[in-house]
């Protein structure tokens, strides 16, 4: 019986999963996601990890698995600096425990290996989840739409087929799309929105984010709105409408609620189209286009209202939720759960 904690240290959220692993079965599951903007709180990361250790590991822990994307945060001047610092902090927080991670090629290493070639471990969190999905489903398309980004990962015969490995190459290949369910600036999704039967150019300011769009449309609730609001005000539909109005230099005294809801719907459909175009591009490059029998595995906060309609738009009809292969709440913290499982297999 092995007790492992998996950590996914992101730029905006840190997620943890504690599992007990015995004879290939998972039990004693505990997960947690904490909004932790590294660009603001970099120097508090050690305290956060120590807090998680105390909270999760009241008895004992056999090993720690870690993946990260926080190295991209502008808290660090280079990714190398970020990876090395995050590895060092994790090793300090879990002193006495063996720490493992996964590289961008899907291979597991201990922390000493990672320190020797840090760039191979930058933003490798998708590798952990994709590896387990490919094992479970053999051939298909894995789409993870989170708060900030969407990963589109093809796999065949149990092997991940991605052209890109690091963030830059994945952006080039279309396998990484910087659009998500919560933190995406509306001005990064559209340049114009429909108002009074005209297309009006929006202000490229940080006035509203995708969380406001999806809150207005009922895709998420206030509790799902886990990041900060652009104006520091509340996470209600009323405040979200105010933020959307501001994107076109207006307010709720100048526009009707229905007009603002139409703007939200327009932005939403543009997000779906962007992900849909990405699916078309990835499958054309790596899977010889869409096969009507292609199975699509979904996860992330935006799986039902962004990823699924985008996949349906290109003709995909068969869908699975990551919950189908993982019990409990593991799918809610997919990369941290995946690295915990992969680490448990080493022990």
Pairing of strands 98-102, 63-68: parallel
Question: What is the separation, in whole angstroms, between the first and last Cα of the chain?
Answer: 9
pLDDT the model gives residue 169 = 96
What is the chain's Cα-based Rg?
20
pLDDT the model gives residue 292 = 64
pLDDT the model gives residue 1 = 76
Q: Which residues contact 180 (CB under 8 A, 6 or more apart)?
A: 145, 146, 147, 148, 149, 150, 210, 300, 301, 302
pLDDT the model gives residue 5 = 96
Residues 293, 303 contacting (CB under 8 angstroms): no
Helix H or strand E encompassing 157: none
pLDDT tens digits for 120-164? 999 999 999 999 999 999 899 999 999 999 999 999 999 999 999
Write down the pTM of the prediction. Answer: 0.95
What number is the average pLDDT over the span 61-80?
96
pLDDT the model gives residue 58 = 62
Domains of the chain: 2-127+326-346 (3.30.420.40)
Of 199, 107, 121, residue with least CA distance to 166: 121
Determine the Cα–Cα distance for residues 322 and 304; give it in Å rounded to an integer. 12
Residues 343, 63 contacting (CB under 8 angstroms): yes
φ, ψ (nearest 5 deg) of residue 52: -65, -40
pLDDT tens digits for 98-119? 999 999 999 999 999 999 999 9
pLDDT, averaged across the chain: 94
Determine the Cα–Cα distance for residues 206 and 84; give it in Å rounded to an integer. 31
pLDDT tens digits for 201-239? 999 999 999 999 999 999 999 999 999 999 999 999 999
pLDDT the model gives residue 26 = 83
pLDDT tens digits for 280-308? 999 987 776 666 678 999 999 999 999 99
Q: How far is CA 209 from the centre of its chain?
A: 16
């Amino acid at each position: 019986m092995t007790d492992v904690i998996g950590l996914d240290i992101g730029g905006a959220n840190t997620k943890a999963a504690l599992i007990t692993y015995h004879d290939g079965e998972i039990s004693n599951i505990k997960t947690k996601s904490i909004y932790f903007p590294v660009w603001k709180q970099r120097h508090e990361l050690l305290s956060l990890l120590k807090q998680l250790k105390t909270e999760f590991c009241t008895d004992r822990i056999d090993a720690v698995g870690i993946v990260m994307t926080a190295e991209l945060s502008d808290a660090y001047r280079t990714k190398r600096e970020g990876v090395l610092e995050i590895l060092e902090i994790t090793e300090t927080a879990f002193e006495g425990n063996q720490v493992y991670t996964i590289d961008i090629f899907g291979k597991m290493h201990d922390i000493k290996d990672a320190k020797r070639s840090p760039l191979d471990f930058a933003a490798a969190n998708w590798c952990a989840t994709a590896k387990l999905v490919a094992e479970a489903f053999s051939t298909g398309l894995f789409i993870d739409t989170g708060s900030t980004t969407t990963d589109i990962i093809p796999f065949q015969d149990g092997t991940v087929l991605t052209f890109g490995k690091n963030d830059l190459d994945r952006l080039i290949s279309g396998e990484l799309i910087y659009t998500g369910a919560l933190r995406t600036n509306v001005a990064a999704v559209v340049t114009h929105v429909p108002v009074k039967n005209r297309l009006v150019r929006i202000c490229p300011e940080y006035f509203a984010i995708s969380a406001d769009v999806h809150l207005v449309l009922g895709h998420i609730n206030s509790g799902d709105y886990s990041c900060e609001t652009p104006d520091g005000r509340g996470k209600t539909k009323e405040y979200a409408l105010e933020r959307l109005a501001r994107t076109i230099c207006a307010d709720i005294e100048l526009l009707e609620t229905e007009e603002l809801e139409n703007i939200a719907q327009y932005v939403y459909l543009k997000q779906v189209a962007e992900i849909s175009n990405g699916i078309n591009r990835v499958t054309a490059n790596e899977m010889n286009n869409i096969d009507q029998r292609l199975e699509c595995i979904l996860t992330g906060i935006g799986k039902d209202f962004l990823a699924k309609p985008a996949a349906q738009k290109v003709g995909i009809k068969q869908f699975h939720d990551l919950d189908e292969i993982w019990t409990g709440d593991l799918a809610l913290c997919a990369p941290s759960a995946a690295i915990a499982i992969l680490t448990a297999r080493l022990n």
